[in-house]
Amino acid sequence: MSIYRTILFAPANDLRKAGKALMLEADGVVLDLEDAVATSEKRKARITIQEALNLPHKGRVFIRVNSARSNFILGDLLAVVGSSKIDGIVLAKAESAEEVRWVDWLITKLEQERELPKDQLELIPFIESARAVLDSYVIASACPRVHRLFFGGIDYLLDICASYSKEALFFARSQLVISSRAAGIESPVDTVYPDFKDIEGLVADARLARQIGFQGKLVIHPGQVNPVNEVFMPSADEIEWAGKIISAFEEAEASGIAVIQIDGKMIEYPVVNRARQVLALVASNQK
């Protein structure tokens, strides 16, 4: 599994913006068929996105489809499932495990119909409401395609009638981190910071999200990519820690031991996997 420090959103029906986003240093780009596209343009956007997917790109590519309750979900999936250029589907406004499983079922049927490799696409539920936050564990556990959750903090705050602040977001953020860990999936990716001109505020917000346990942050403007990447880049101490753990664990594993102690802490596979991700992230950014 991959770590995403930054996930940049771009409208699927704007080739100029999509093309620019795909060549930035974001770890992933979401081409958006939902909020970034007017209702009257949604069907046209499914055509434009085919052109966007043929553009050069650096990071991984995801498509945000409309919610499972919308009239657009089936057409969205028909348009994009099967493209070798995408790594996953982001499900907007995921409200329940049942919705996630239904979309998973649709994707599976399309994979079968189109003779595609089974389960090649990740499915990322976008948690955007109070109900979804409270049900985040069952959503995270809904199906094997779910490797991580995205947090849509802006819509969540609208749902609970609150303004953007660390205090208003704290419960939901903590809940998503705990639910992800309990479900055995990757750490979630934090909400966008709405004021794209306020880099100082963005950095502070990203640091808080990292301290709480998020793996990265969603971003909405090219100028947000590098500052957030820097916040979520492993420090020298973390890199040293990761190397130490992997070296000791691999030596123990060769002797048939799968649990060891280092500096008074228990080390087993989940910790080792995280250490490997840290080193992989560093290696990928040194190329």
Q: Give percent above pLDDT 70 in the chain.
A: 98
Task: Return the SS3 of 120.
Answer: coil
Helix boundaries (H) for 53-127: 73-80, 97-113
Which of residues 232, 257, 272 is at a domain's end?
232
Which of residues 232, 254, 276 is at a domain's end?
232
Q: Give the bridge partners for 64, in sequence order.
A: 32, 90
Compute CA 262 distance to the chain's CA centroid, rounded to the nearest angstrom.
Answer: 31
Residue 19 lies inside a defined structural domain of this protein: yes
Q: Residue 70: which CATH number? A: 3.20.20.60
Mean pLDDT, the chain, whole residue set: 94
**Number of separate domains in the chain:** 2
Q: Are residues 182 and 276 in the same domain?
A: no
Residue 196: the pLDDT is 94
Residue 23: the pLDDT is 96
Q: Are residues 212 and 250 in the same domain?
A: no
Q: Are residues 217 and 252 in the same domain?
A: no
Q: Are residues 184 and 218 in the same domain?
A: yes
Domain boundaries, position 72: 6-232
Tokens (6 digits) for 265: 């802490």
pTM here?
0.89
Q: Are residues 94 and 197 in the same domain?
A: yes
Tell me the per-residue pLDDT of 108-165, one tens digit each, with 9 for 90 and over. 999 999 999 888 899 999 999 999 999 999 999 999 999 999 999 999 999 999 999 9
Return the DSSP state at 71.
Answer: S
Q: Are residues 140 and 255 in the same domain?
A: no
Tell me the per-residue pLDDT of 57-111, one tens digit each, with 9 for 90 and over. 999 999 999 999 999 999 999 999 998 899 999 999 999 999 999 999 999 999 9
pLDDT over 60 at 1, yes or no? no
Distances (CA, A) of 132 to 73, 98, 124, 137, 247: 19, 12, 13, 9, 40
Tokens (6 digits) for 119: 């389960």
Residue 1 lies inside a defined structural domain of this protein: no
Mean of the pLDDT values across residues 235-241?
Answer: 88
Residue 175: the pLDDT is 98
